[in-house]
Amino acid sequence: MSKIRKAHVLVALLAAALCVPASGAGKTSGLPTKIGKGEGKLTMIGWEGYLDAKWVKPFEKQTGCKVQAKYAGSSDEMVTLMRTGGGGQYDMVSASGDASLRLIYGKDVQPVNTKLVPGWSQFFKAFQGPPNNTVGGQHYGISLQWGPNTLMYNTKKIKKAPTSWGDIYSSKYKGRITVPNNPIQIADVALYLSKTQPSLGIKDPYELNKKQFDAAIALVKKQKPLIKKYWGLSSDEVSLFKNGDTWLGASWPVTTGTLQAAKVPVKEIIPKEGATGWLDTWMLSSKTKHPNCAYKWYGYISSPKVQALQAVTWGETPANKLACKEMDKLSKGSCAAYHANAPESYYRSIKFWKTPIADCGNGKKDCTDYTKWVSAWTQATS
């Protein structure tokens, strides 16, 4: 009998132990103050490759949190997925700058207590509270990695390295070009126009008035006959380059890395006009059922070693300062190659993705908002 009673007590204690931290890390009463026992599960939406077995498997082993990964091909898909079924189906999302503000203002994500994330204090200042994930002093998520949107080309087919984005708008490589099927691509067009048609007066590629926006859309339409295919997932672009269908395209470093690993002769450059770029943030759903596992993930993914591993694997730049040394350990010279040692100036040279809104910040509200971007992009490319 005493045995049974002991078992009862044990069960009760265990239940209590499970309940208390879970409620402690809940969403309602402010920020959680400590990380409890893991819930055994974590559902995550990530960019392709962001939930690679290389770093997810050790995490699962360490914490017992089984990761259910769902890859999304675009920021829009991420926002939609975070909202399906009233939210709460997914715990975390690796949102880029063009999605994060929409998630914050839509109340789909919750603030994070950075004190519970040791790696955060080792971050470069710029990534501790960047405007795309920090609103009103609240940190809605922890920055992850960042990088530019590059111009990739096949070195066998294109002997002379391109230097300008102009090559993807000229008929020189007609039918051999690919660009992402993503409304934010309009910013790339605007960036190019800001350098080639200064009379338009484009200062920020995400803040376009009607005239500037129309000029960008006109160029999108002009570019369409030159395009072989608009790629959706980065794996689409991989197969386009692998099978020789395209020679030149707007791309992500992860794509270049994958292709180079597969011995496809490709290189990527940042053209003279500069580049747009992204800064990704792991954000936490406001309706998450697995907050403890989520905080464990935060601690894990922002540690220097894991940051370095992801950076080297996908050719990105980590947010953690201490990751530089780890990167060189994994692959000599990679820290400098991806500007992980002195990123502040490099960071400023990139026009980071952000959600276009009507308020241009100049007192006037005549900028085209994201809905217009989406509708114009979808129609121009259909």
Q: From start to end of 181-226, where are the E strands?
A: none
Count of Cβ atoms closer than 10 Å to residue 121 Cβ: 12
DSSP-derived pairing of the beta strands 142-148 and 317-318? antiparallel
Q: How far is the CB of 372 from other proteins (least distance, A)?
A: 9
d(CA 25, CA 112): 10
Residue among 98 and 268 whose Cβ is closer to other proteins = 98
Q: How far is the CB of 103 from other proteins (least distance, A)?
A: 11
Residue among 145 and 355 whose Cβ is closer to other proteins = 355
d(CA 83, CA 291): 18
Look at phi and psi of residue 264 and say left if phi exceeds 0, alpha if psi is from -120 to 50, else beta: beta
Residue among 135 and 374 whose Cβ is closer to other proteins = 374
Q: How far is the CB of 142 from other proteins (least distance, A)?
A: 25
Residue among 240 and 311 whose Cβ is closer to other proteins = 240
Residue among 290 and 372 whose Cβ is closer to other proteins = 372
Q: How far is the CB of 357 from other proteins (least distance, A)?
A: 9
User: Partners of 248 in the beta sheet?
Assistant: 153, 177
Q: How far is the CB of 314 from other proteins (least distance, A)?
A: 23
Per-residue burial over 274-309, b if 16 or more Cβ lie within 10 Å, else e, is bbbbbbbbbbbbbbbebbbbbbbbbbbbbbbbbbbb
Residue among 195 and 242 whose Cβ is closer to other proteins = 242
Q: How far is the CB of 362 from other proteins (least distance, A)?
A: 21
Q: For 342, which DSSP code?
A: S
Residue among 230 and 346 whose Cβ is closer to other proteins = 230
Q: How far is the CB of 205 from other proteins (least distance, A)?
A: 18
Residue among 330 and 357 whose Cβ is closer to other proteins = 357
d(CA 59, CA 62): 5
Q: How far is the CB of 91 from other proteins (least distance, A)?
A: 20
Where does this chain bind other proteins (CB under 8 A)? Answer: 74, 76-77, 79-80, 83, 102, 105-106, 175, 183, 224-225, 227-230, 232, 239-240, 243-245, 369-371, 374-375, 377-382
- Angle at alpha carbon of residue 279, lines to 366 and 339, rounded to 5°: 125
Q: For 269, which DSSP code?
A: E
Count of Cβ atoms closer than 10 Å to residue 232 Cβ: 14
Phi, psi of 269 (to 5 degrees): -135, 160
